[in-house]
Amino acid sequence: MNIAGISEKARYLKLAAFNLSEGMRTGSFRSCFRGQGMEFDGVRDYEAGDDIRSIDWNVTARSGRPFVKLYREERELTVFLVVDDSLSMTTGTAERSRKDAALESSALLAFACEYNASPLGSVVFDGSVGRLFKPRTGRDHLLSLLSDLERRSRTVPGSALAAAIGGASRVLRSRALVVIISDFRAAGYEKELGILSRRHDVLAIRITAVCDTQLPSAGFLSFRDPESAIVRDFPTSSSSFKLYWERENREALARWEQRCLRLGVSPLVLPIEQDTGMVLTRFFSGRRSHGMQHHGIAGDHV
């Protein structure tokens, strides 16, 4: 998918981006910003699902029924995108690659930021770190940012995920929402991710495909590593191999989710087969089981 292709979907894009911007602005995800840059704005009756940490115990004790505190945002929401453009992102299905999903996610988040007048910055990486855009507002800035993602020429194999995360840490002076969009087929980025999450709110979006866990029964198939160009044949009709493939990938995904949660990062799995706008909108409006409220859950380091 390219920017021109996205612009042809303008009606859908505008609707999806508007819904996404509403979730970013008013959804329960915004609670992660409370305590910094928020001003007390009153109380309301407690409702099922409210964070118990927001209960106003003084008012609750006086009234005899539970109340929660309301806050008014005092500062703008700065968003910074860290986007994976490595060779492994070219994999997926014949109809849609992981890069397609990453580009559409970036575009939706960018236009949602425009709706909210939120400063937006970005950095794109493959085996090296590309141009870094400091957070700004404005349509020209937004289009330059998205064009940089689309038009980069991949010449460096590998994944500079750790360096890109470190670059985001250095450029962001005030608290921001950092969204990392990647297949996370990399290693050695945990230290930088932990440092980033101590100063900022971090959302890690992992782009997945059905072939990560399900293989067709087609005999021996050749698999090519897009980074190293190494080719291997695997017995896709073997039930034991298919079970091994599924188990290994599901366990790897579970380890990644636990690693994110332990580091104070909110993980979000985005399958390329699903509607990107709906997945993002559900997350930011709070209609999902995993979110920022899970920060601090412990997990084994792998």
pLDDT digits (tens, 9 = 90+) for 202-222: 999 999 999 999 888 888 888
User: In this structure, are residues 137 and 119 in contact, taking their beta carbons and an 8 Å threshold?
Assistant: yes
Predicted confidence (pLDDT) at residue 289 exceeds the cutoff of 60: no
Predicted confidence (pLDDT) at residue 12 exceeds the cutoff of 70: no
Percentage of the chain exceeding pLDDT 70: 80
Domain 3-25+75-294 has CATH 3.40.50.410: yes
Nearest 5°: the CA angle 66, 72, 74 is 150
Predicted confidence (pLDDT) at residue 302 exceeds the cutoff of 70: no
190-199 helix and 161-171 helix, angle to the nearest 10 degrees:
20
Higher pLDDT, 158 or 270: 270
Residue 300 — pLDDT band, cuts 50, 70, 90?
A: very low
Predicted confidence (pLDDT) at residue 182 exceeds the cutoff of 90: yes
**In the prediction, which pLDDT does 11 show?**
53
Domain with CATH 3.40.50.410 in the chain: 3-25+75-294
Predicted confidence (pLDDT) at residue 77 exceeds the cutoff of 90: no
Measure the CA–CA gap between 180 and 182, rounded to whole angstroms.
6
Residue 13 — pLDDT band, cuts 50, 70, 90?
A: low
Which run of H or E residues covers position 129?
A: strand 129-136
Task: Tell me what the mean pLDDT of segment 61-70 comes to.
Answer: 86
